[in-house]
Structure 1
Amino acid sequence: MIEQKEIFEIIEGYDKDNISIAVLASHSALQILKGAKEMGFHTIAVCKAGREMVYERFGVADKIISVKDYKEFVSDRVLDELRAHNSILIPHGSLVAYVGVKNIEEKLKIPFFGTRGILRWESDRTMERDWLETSKIKLPKEFKDPSEIDRLCLIKFPGARGGRDYFLARTPKSYKKKTDKLFKEGKISQDDIDNVTIQEYISGVNMYVSYFYSPLKDEVELFGMDRRYESNIDGVTRISAVDQIELYGDPRFVPSYVVAGNFPLVVRESLLDKIFKMGDSVVKVSKDICPPGMIGAFCLEAMVNDKLDLIVFEISARIVAGTNPYIQGSPYSYIMYGDNMSMGKRIALEIKNAVESGQLDKLVT
């Protein structure tokens, strides 16, 4: 793990009047860069060669650094240029998926908004469950071995995969058949199989709740909620049951849960008390398990059942793409801040306040 003193030494050498906000050009980069510009920061997008056009057309990046491969993000060339521009890096799901937690922990030697070590708790399913259980969050039942499957279960493989290669299985036989197929097609590895998560399937409404924890105010803010639109399973639900039966009888058809987009959502007001308490508890525990704990954006990914229980199946310890529908702000951010407060802008506001008050050390690792 990169030591905190190394990051503080870099920050000490920065020109605080010319801080840049940097991000890997993917996931939620548009709102992060837009929010940073609105807060007066210089902005940098690290972009895979050939994909610069989006960020050029929207005009949100003052500078684009092109790389042939995302792993090049941790190269001396890229890091030296980022540090030369007094950059603070904002993490998101694509950074975790493409650069990797180990590289973030050991090689990404640049001031990092948030606690970089907490991404390990998000990515490791066992650690993630320990965190949520300690926080007294309701969780779906998990099965340690496929032979224990006795009900409909959602099968998930490690990493920030955006739902890719997830599937449902009701029996050990069904699990083995589908896993063998994915393995033969090269879509999953033996390591994926060895670290698989088998969770009971919860019937209800999927609800992804985004929060922001401000170390400067020591307060958890509720930002908003979204639902995911997933391919191809959401398309299947638009056809009749008769046609679904015929479709599932076709061996070429494989249902999938790849996230294609996000819907904004407003929860019934009677659930807000429960939602705030969940966020508060997760942040409190994070300070014990991975000091200094949660910083900035995070998301509890849940199902709401017909008893109005929120059953959490994952946590994302950084901004999620479900905040993208709220670039002009959410109903909840409007109550707190008025118009035009995206999660990207809220992150930039926290950094701006920290720079002005000399408290950047509370936000970066």
Structure 2
Amino acid sequence: KFRVVKGGIKLEEKVEQPLILKAEFAHRKFERGFIFAANSADLEEKVRREVEAGHLDEEALKYARVEEYVPGPHANVNFCYSPINAKEEWGDVEKWYAKLYGVSLEEARSYLANELISIDERRETTHDGVIRLPADVQLKVDWSKTPYPLTFEVTFHGDISIRESLLKDVHLVANAFLKATQLYEPPGIIGAWCLQTIVTWTKVPRVKVYEGVSLGLYDVPEAAEVYMHIPYTQDVALRHGGGANVHLGVGGKYAVARYQRRVSVGDRIALEVRRALKKNLLAEVVT
């Protein structure tokens, strides 16, 4: 938390870890800028300099966000939620799913109807070029004196996959968000959507050996500190994700595995509309 003061911001508490401020540019309101800092004092000083330079203004800071910087690879996880499949019976699959995760059969059907299509990552300019420089050069370069401003403009997308053991964790995060939208903004998500996520590696509260197994951890000594992958969602796109064009012509790898043919996000949307027409359920999938 922070308050806006003359010429910058003041955080309510001292923070001794990396932070990121997200705020709209003063000269380009539709685009956000990012300020990275080593701690709260560093962030306050950097914001002061940006305001002084005219890159940020008081109005933008009122709506800015300061977040903990979570280290880890970024991923856009593309899903397609099927209201039609959520009404279907899944037989033993839904029963075992409900038992495994301690949810109702209705919730199990809803979660099973949230299909994973693909995963992609962003390549951003000029950031990706800067981080390829040796650290000593990065520290010396004054980019304000060059034709190349430091930006995070999305330029490319790359197709990636996640460790199979982590699929369940991503699904659990997606399920929680899906349920929240259904609860607070009914009918919730319909069709294609994208979970923008960071997966980090961090310590979890001390667990007993048998509890570790429930987290997917094995052979953990009783007194050991336990570390594991933890997904952190930083944003969502309630639409066809922009990076889904990486599987154009070949299909999203997870959708291909499910349907045994090429299925892109666009294909999956078309399939849902087609099935809805056949079942006279079009009102369930459009608004």
TM-score when normalising by structure 2: 0.68
- Shift in Å at residue 184 of structure 1? 6.6
Deviation at 1:174, TM superposition (A): 4.1
Letter in 1 for 2:124: E
Residue 216 of structure 1 aligns to a residue whose secondary structure is: helix
**Could you tell me whether the CA contact under 8 Å between 2:196 and 2:234 is conserved in 1?**
yes
2:229 to 308, 317, 335: 308
Alignment partner, residue 83 of structure 1: none
Determine the structure 1 residue equivalent to 2:74.
Answer: 206
| Structure with larger RCO (C-alpha < 8 A, sep 6+) | 1
Q: SS of the counterpart of 2:278?
A: helix
1:278 match: 173
Percent identity of paired positions between Structure 1 and Structure 2:
26
Paired with 1:282 and 1:275, the residues of 2 have a C-alpha distance of: 11
Corresponding position: 1:264 with 2:130: no
**Deviations 1:33-87 (Å, cap 9, x if unpaired)?**
xxxxxxxxxxxxxxxxxxxxxxxxxxxxxxxxxxxxxxxxxxxxxxxxxxxxxxx
- 1:360 — aligned with what? 282
1:179-198 residue CA offsets vs partner (Å, 9 max, x unmatched):
45655776655443211111
Q: Say whether residues 1:167 and 2:35 are aligned partners.
A: yes
**What SS does structure 2 have at the residue aligned with 1:280?**
helix
Matched, 1:230 2:124: yes
Letter of the structure 1 residue corresponding to residue 236 of structure 2:
I
**What are the Cα deviations for residues 251-296 of structure 1, in whole angstroms up to 9, with x where unaligned?**
4465322211111111010011122222222212211110111111
Does structure 2 conserve the Cα–Cα contact (< 8 Å) formed by 1:162 and 1:259?
no
Does the CA-based 8 Å contact 1:224-1:323 persist in structure 2?
yes
The amino acid that maps onto 1:347 is I
What is the deviation of 1:325?
Answer: 0.2
User: Larger radius of gyration, structure 1 or 2?
Assistant: 2
Give the strand-richer structure, 1 or 2: 2
Question: CA 1:157–1:149 in structure 2 vs 1: closer, same or farther (change >3 Å)?
Answer: farther
Which one of 261, 273, 280 corresponds to residue 339 of structure 1? 261
Q: Which runs of 5+ in 2 are unaligned?
A: 4-9, 87-112, 202-227
One-letter amino acid of the counterpart of residue 229, structure 1: R
Higher mean alpha-carbon deviation, 145-154 vs 345-354, is at 145-154
Q: CA RMSD in A?
A: 2.6
2:14 and 2:123 map into 1 onto residues whose CA distance is 27
Residues 1:189 and 1:214: Cα distance change in structure 2 (over 3 Å): farther
Aligned to 1:106: none
Aligned length: 221
Q: 1:242 to 1:223 in 2, by over 3 A?
A: same
Residue 322 (str. 1) matches residue 243 (str. 2): yes
Q: Do the aligned partners of residues 158 and 337 (structure 1) sit closer, same or farther apart at CA in structure 2, a change above 3 Å counting? A: farther
2:150 to 242, 246, 255: 255
Q: Is the 8 A contact 1:206 1:304 kept in 2?
A: yes
Helix, strand or coil at the partner of 1:305: strand
